[in-house]
Amino acid sequence: MLEPAELERYARHIVLREVGGPGQARLKAARVLVVGAGGIGSPVLMYLAAAGVGTLGVIDARARGLVAQCMLP
């Protein structure tokens, strides 16, 4: 479930009928892998993080094939 700070942060998503509390909880549990962190991948990562996706993975050729993962609060 969402913590009080997350409820405040994602209040605008939660009030949307299409998302709601259960939808935001599913976003928090979601895992997304983005290939490329350049011109398109960079803003995609920003929007996914802002939406509350729980785990983001990034693969970028400039990172020499390394996969960087981070848990978002």
Q: What is the pLDDT of residues 1-59, one digit of tens each?
A: 788 898 898 898 889 999 899 999 999 999 999 988 888 888 999 999 999 999 998 88
User: In 1-73, which ranges are E strands?
Assistant: 31-35, 55-59, 67-71
The amino acid that residue 47 corresponds to is Y
| Tally of domains within the chain | 1
Cα–Cα distance, 59 to 73 (Å, whole number): 21
> What residue numbers bound the domain in which 50 lies?
4-71
Binning the chain into helix, strand and coil, the percentages to the nearest 5 are: 45, 20, 35
**Sign of torsion, CA 45 47 49 52?**
negative
Give the pTM: 0.75
